[in-house]
Amino acid sequence: MKLRGRPNWIFMALAILVSCQVSYWSTSAQEAPKEPNYVKAHYTKYEYRIPVRDGKKLFTSVYVPKDSSQPYPILMQRTPYSVGPYGEDQYKEHLGPSDEFEKAGYIFVYQDVRGRYLSEGQFLEMNPHLDVKKSARDVDESSDTYDTIEFLLKHLANNNGKVGIWGISYPGFYTSASIIDSHPALKAASPQAPMTDLFFTDDGYHGGAFMLAANFGFYTSFKPLPEPATPPKSPVPFDFGTPDGYDFFLRVGSLRSLNKLYLKEGNPLFNDQITHTTYDDYWKARDLSRHMKNIKCAVMTVGGWFDGEDLSGPFKTFQAIEQNNRAIPNTLVVGPWVHGGWAGGDGDHLGDVQFNARTSEFFRANIQFPFFEYYLKGKGSGLPKAYVFETGTNVWRKYDQWPPAESHAKTLYLHAGGKLSFDPPNENEGWDEYISDPAHPVPFVNYIATSVPQRYMVDDQRFAARRPDVLVYQTETLDEDVTIAGPVSPKLNVASTATDSDFVVKLIDVYPDDYPDNEVANVSKRVLGPPSVRMGGYQQLLRGEPMRAKFRNSWEKPEPLVPGKVSQLSFMMPDVYHTFRRGHRIMVQIQSSWFPLVDRNPQTFGEIPDARPEDFKKAMEQVFHRKDAPSGVQLMVLVR
């Protein structure tokens, strides 16, 4: 073994020591190995093609406990991503949301949704719900689930007459859709990171801006399927031809060019995304929160504070259920997780940010499993209205509503000299300005990636703060903790020399300069050199969202900016539950690009997917902070 080309047994020994320590820390956090082939040893698999009311048949895999000494509840998942492996002699390696369920005794059901893989019918993206069904031809995900449950209750021996359903992301959408006008036997449901309203801060658009890298990456593989179809044994990932996504998307130009050159206009699902650039009927029909009614079961909606894909879905789903179904148990659970991060791993950190608790393990064992055990088996007790993890202090807390009744709106105002405070500006202040150049957009991470790294949601923002096209405002060092709990609402007064521009607002927690490095990083530093990041002065992203200025007055009918005229931008970011600790600072950064997370605004009013090279123009952006044109960020400050 050599280090930097020279043998050195001391460094070899130290490196091995660190490797052993890290290996011990990671393996000791894992559960004991499970019995090999546990599922096949304890379950019998059946496959059904379940007929639904319009005559189509939905492919369904069922795993029944071999122990028939007691009746079992049914726990199901409906998915567009395949229920494979196919064949009654082919078994999944794991069943249910987590290991606890396999050994507790459930009948597990997995179903290919309409039009996917071995299920018949037409697949529709975010299949719209039909409030009124006039005939057997009027079908949606609610009716498909209802008919499926009816079949299962009649054909699965030894079931106890109770059904639960869960799913993450797209299966989370199907879970939400399944509980509308729900079957009487459906007793418990858990939509987790559910896709809910793709135009408003879910997967598709944020503030009217297209989520470029994530959507392109998704639709390179998620496409309409022939009927029937099975997943390829060896999926072929898209070849970007470069490890640098920033360079790839910059060179390709417009969205329409991207679609033509690389997708060959062959995926109508992606084409729909870039064609419906306003909040039109296509998107309105797919806003599932409008239909969350006549729900008869207990619901536990789950989300992650740092979910870069479906962050707002859990909150919209929870609030819609709360408003329209007062009589049912309705719980919101949110932890410090990325998209689906609660389903695996420890959940003790994200990137460089530590949470000092195995939050994912805690959720699986102490929240999710007891929820289904209580409503499907009558064991234990129910959950509070909101069970949420407070970052910063890193503790779980329970509330009887969300946001908590103790949180109140309070605005942090921008001031001259990069200052930020709860005091409004006076008449002597003016504005700050910067040049936004679409040819040199602000990157959303300071490292090379073609995808959207999940850790970007808490990444250090010092690289951005040093750019001349990013405005930075921060408070004085806090002399007491400040806790925020609820949505974040930027309210800006801006002007531009362009006819359209984006304004990205980021809320950041600035660590003290003497904040210690992470323990493992310190060990690595002593042995192998500097850690990857120094935590002193770390600028942790808490929430960031773009706002496309042409939507400032209407999501349906965009309007150009009048160059030089002051305009008001007011929008809402998804909820945050975080404590800025004493000794930290609160920071706000403002910029006009966030690439390639968000598509580039050419800064010329028009249909952005069709923008020509000459439409991409520099613009002078102004953000005002004076008494008659204040700018700031409204927070929900929690008073304890």
Distance, CA of 39 to CA of 93 (rounded, Å): 6
Q: Residue 138 belongs to what domain range? A: 38-197+286-399
Distances (CA, A) of 421 to 254, 299, 417, 635: 40, 40, 12, 12
Based on the fold, state whether residues 341 and 441 are members of the same structural domain.
no
Based on the fold, state whether residues 146 and 98 are members of the same structural domain.
yes
pLDDT-derived band at 416, boundaries 50, 70, 90: very high
Based on the fold, state whether residues 436 and 390 are members of the same structural domain.
no
Q: Is the pLDDT of residue 12 over 90?
A: no
For position 427, what pLDDT does the model report? 79
Based on the fold, state whether residues 160 and 107 are members of the same structural domain.
yes
Based on the fold, state whether residues 433 and 339 are members of the same structural domain.
no
Q: What is the pLDDT of residues 489-521, one digit of tens each?
A: 999 999 999 999 999 999 999 999 999 998 754
Tell me how crowded residue 184 is: count the other CB atoms within 10 A of its CB: 11
For tokens 């028939």, what's the residue?
A: 68
pLDDT-derived band at 236, boundaries 50, 70, 90: confident
Distance, CA of 391 to CA of 383 (rounded, Å): 21
For position 35, what pLDDT does the model report? 63
Question: How distant is the alpha carbon of residue 131 from its chain centre?
Answer: 27
- Domain annotation covers residue 272: no
For position 334, what pLDDT does the model report? 98
pLDDT-derived band at 7, boundaries 50, 70, 90: very low
What number is the average pLDDT over the span 48-55? 98
Q: What is the pLDDT of residues 422-439, one digit of tens each?
A: 999 987 889 999 999 999
Number of domains in the chain: 2
Distance, CA of 594 to CA of 389 (rounded, Å): 28
Q: What is the pLDDT of residues 184-228, one digit of tens each?
A: 999 999 999 999 999 999 999 999 999 999 999 999 999 999 877
Based on the fold, state whether residues 448 and 562 are members of the same structural domain.
yes
- Domain annotation covers residue 312: yes
Based on the fold, state whether residues 381 and 527 are members of the same structural domain.
no
Mean pLDDT of the chain: 92
| Coil, strand or helix at 19 | helix
For position 36, what pLDDT does the model report? 67
Return all residues near 434 (Cβ < 8 A) that are at least 6 apart: 468, 469, 470, 471, 591, 592, 620, 621
- Domain annotation covers residue 623: yes
Starting at the edge strand that comes first in sequence, how are the strands of the sheet with 298-304 ordered? Answer: 43-51, 57-65, 107-112, 72-79, 159-168, 186-192, 298-304, 330-335, 386-390, 395-399
For position 52, what pLDDT does the model report? 98
- Domain annotation covers residue 176: yes
Based on the fold, state whether residues 495 and 579 are members of the same structural domain.
yes
Q: What is the pLDDT of residues 97-151, one digit of tens each?
A: 999 999 999 999 999 999 999 999 999 999 999 999 999 999 999 999 999 999 9
- Domain annotation covers residue 237: no
Based on the fold, state whether residues 387 and 484 are members of the same structural domain.
no
Based on the fold, state whether residues 139 and 111 are members of the same structural domain.
yes
- Domain annotation covers residue 2: no
For residues 202 and 317, the answer to whether their CB atoms sit within 8 Å is: no
Based on the fold, state whether residues 393 and 496 are members of the same structural domain.
no
Distance, CA of 528 to CA of 15 (rounded, Å): 7
Q: What is the pLDDT of residues 63-81, one digit of tens each?
A: 999 999 999 999 999 999 9
- Domain annotation covers residue 221: no
The CATH number that applies at residue 388 is: 3.40.50.1820
pLDDT-derived band at 234, boundaries 50, 70, 90: confident
- Domain annotation covers residue 204: no
Q: Is the pLDDT of residue 22 over 70?
A: no
* pTM of the predicted protein model: 0.92
For position 429, what pLDDT does the model report? 87
For tokens 């049914």, what's the residue?
A: 74
**Domain-ending residue, one of 399, 425, 459:** 399
DSSP letters for 509-571: EEPPTTPPPPHHHHHHHHHHSS-S---TT-EEEEEEEEEEGGGSS-SSS-----TT--EEEE-
Q: Is the pLDDT of residue 4 over 70?
A: no
Q: Is the pLDDT of residue 29 over 70?
A: no
